[in-house]
Structure 1
């Protein structure tokens, strides 16, 4: 297949692949000159720029959208099912807002921005969208306006001219309205072959604004492998479209390129972004069968076909009262105010934890000394018999108080340090409560009284300092003794040791001498 330049007719190949089919449909041979006059064009109501209304010009080779519209049974269909789908209901609401945005008098002002050696036609800023929504949609909160605008941008009704991520920013970022032909309400279902033609055409146009992003380049390579047998035909079709695009007016071509890019950003979104064209199967099922319910074993109503011969009608939903609505609002406001960690912070914390413990993971770092169960080295047994902690073991105590408390040698060294400061009662109480939790149930009441008399009773020989709330709660628990009678007091003492005693232990000369002694021994061994 050849594409002739100049005044020769242009051979445009429009192709539709069905899943599971291995043959091509017949090619449509169109004359570019004869067909150029058939597509209707209208003047853009904003700055005189020409845009398409209805199907795009077939002679321009602007993709195979017009074929897909025919194969999709005319978009919305004749039975009205598509019109009543959950997505179509949302689309109609959004398009009503977009129509008001594009109003000549009260809409968002569209302008051409002059940049260095170039012009940016038919754009508006993100802050103008937010201000228009606050003014015209009875929205008081700027965050709510930004959220609503982001949802509309994610559906492709307007888009940033220099970013693949369809989101709204309340700043000077430039946006452009999408042509109605590319709106999602037209029920587009583009195939991967169409996406391959689009990406291949982008690679033929040597312009910085048309360079493929990293994820697009990966998609192109993947599609090239998948359609290796048909790639020559895809390449020729993309080449034909690229040549015809060059004949367009510069400003018009710039606008159409951005609109086509935004169309694919909706249907083939950036990794990590939500695909807004997907239909929620649960919502569709509820709309098609609103009265089909079955009675659950637990008294719940499910919107699915019942397996029993009788159907139980769903009870009518009770309208919430004003007080109930106020309670719900207060509840959700409380949820919004809750402190939540960002995913970036969580990932950073996990990476830090992994890097800190990497030398203690035998799967990542060979242990030193080696495991005597899988090697002939008995050094580990010798170190265990000497009851002297190794350098790695002592170093690990500085990671946190939990590392000290779960290591028997660490607890012993920590207790010696506290005894030197005459403040060992906190650790002894904590250890006694831990030991209580492992006692047989018949010994628990006696041991509870012993701990109470030693640490918490008036005039106790090793009295500990706890707050009044924990003391009152513990006093009530001791009347009905159990393994967890001292839970509140133990938690309070743990926090005290973590914030005070432990930090002093790590900074103490006793710990530093222990750490340095182990380092010297390890050096002498080598």
Structure 2
């Protein structure tokens, strides 16, 4: 009975060799037996090179290197000898032996020395040799493991494991391709006007016009942001926090709602994460005393389980000890404060007062500024009222 590897803890089957290849290799091992195998003979060929040729004329044995102990040989045997050996070994007809030998040649276990492209077994004096084997560890692929790992028979337990694995695969949530395509189209149409390569940059491209006004208007700290910059804040909450100007206006909004401590706590956690290693213990204690300790001046509301994880990690403070609390406050602002900020008068006023830069210099690539329109067809331009043009024969006097 064929055997396969048992199921892994993740519901996957470990990779093993296919059963038919194992059977073929057992046949090749039997062929190389010194006493009962196929007779070997030395073969001299007047050729320049043989693919996968191996020097030496030592007869191999099953304990050699290679796949399942197969050792490459330079001694050859005729196709007729292989056919006769298969007939006697398995008590089959010559036609069946030819078919089996051809399969061994097509799978690369025996190799013709004269016609390398003819992967068939001929019942004549055509010489063949054994192919070099490959180490089993390479056959395992990315899932490396011992070839002699525990193997179980295809019993009821194996099929129960397979059924459970397929049931989990069928119940896994998957996103439809139509939904993914709609999301990509929305993302492309939303970010298209903000791409300097596709839509250009106003007032001019500083890399080709030597005008740095574009960089000055989009600096990290500016008094009046551009309209494109303000619009990007509505793409995602991360876009708003990554922009110092947008985060400053969001802080003004939270102060009016008496929840500015949430953003301050998030900024303190960012400083702890990307700050110097020597200041980590002091920063952890300062953040805890200011935002998390009982009776803190700017206390933030986190759940009890997150607080337990934070207090346990503070026994040996490190720069990521407040990640759970920071994520809790981040999601709170994203789901509650951020949508109200986009609907507030502050954000609407920023959109109305945002700067719309005008093009100051001629664009180097005008085809990016103006949409392309196809030229009208000459057939559509002609009208039925136009008289047909009669051609005058060359050399004529103009008379019909």
Structure-1-length-normalised TM-score:
0.40
**More helix per residue:** 1
Instruction: Check if 1:362 corresponds to 2:196.
Output: yes
The one of 319, 322, 338 aligned to 2:172:
338
Q: Aligned pair in 2 of structure 1 residues 415, 341: CA closer, same or farther (>3 Å)?
A: same
The one of 464, 489, 497 aligned to 2:300:
464
Paired residues of 2:224 and 2:354 also in contact (CA < 8 A): no
**CA distance in 2: counterparts of 1:423 and 1:464, whole angstroms:** 9
**CA distance in 1: counterparts of 2:273 and 2:290, whole angstroms:** 17
**Secondary structure, counterpart of 1:346 in structure 2:** helix
**CA distance in 1: counterparts of 2:164 and 2:213, whole angstroms:** 63
Equivalent residue number for residue 424 of structure 1: 260
Paired residues of 1:301 and 1:314 also in contact (CA < 8 A): no
Q: Any residues of structure 2 matched to 1:208-223 within 5 Å, and which?
A: none
Unaligned runs of 5+ in 2: 1-94, 105-129, 361-400
**Secondary structure, counterpart of 1:374 in structure 2:** helix
**CA distance in 2: counterparts of 1:357 and 1:82, whole angstroms:** 62
The one of 475, 490, 499 aligned to 2:326:
490
Equivalent residue number for residue 352 of structure 1: 186
Q: CA RMSD in A?
A: 3.5
Equivalent residue number for residue 285 of structure 2: 449
**Secondary structure, counterpart of 1:318 in structure 2:** strand
Instruction: Check if 1:372 corresponds to 2:372.
Output: no
Equivalent residue number for residue 45 of structure 2: none
The one of 296, 313, 318 aligned to 2:137:
296
Paired residues of 2:203 and 2:357 also in contact (CA < 8 A): no
Structure-2-length-normalised TM-score:
0.51
Equivalent residue number for residue 411 of structure 1: 247
Q: Give 1 or 2 for the bigger CA radius of gyration.
A: 2
**CA distance in 1: counterparts of 2:261 and 2:100, whole angstroms:** 75
Paired residues of 1:369 and 1:380 also in contact (CA < 8 A): yes
Q: Aligned pair in 2 of structure 1 residues 315, 379: CA closer, same or farther (>3 Å)?
A: closer
**CA distance in 1: counterparts of 2:254 and 2:341, whole angstroms:** 8
- Larger RCO: Structure 1 or Structure 2 (Cα < 8 Å, ≥ 6 residues apart)? 2
Cα shift at 1:437: 0.9
Q: Any residues of structure 2 matched to 1:7-156 within 5 Å, and which?
A: 79-80=98-99
Q: Deviations over 1:216-274 (max 9, x none)?
A: xxxxxxxxxxxxxxxxxxxxxxxxxxxxxxxxxxxxxxxxxxxxxxxxxxxxxxxxxxx
Q: Aligned pair in 2 of structure 1 residues 449, 315: CA closer, same or farther (>3 Å)?
A: closer
Q: Aligned pair in 2 of structure 1 residues 382, 83: CA closer, same or farther (>3 Å)?
A: closer
Bigger CA drift: 323-332 or 408-417?
323-332
Paired residues of 1:294 and 1:301 also in contact (CA < 8 A): no
Q: How many residues align?
A: 233
**CA distance in 1: counterparts of 2:149 and 2:215, whole angstroms:** 71
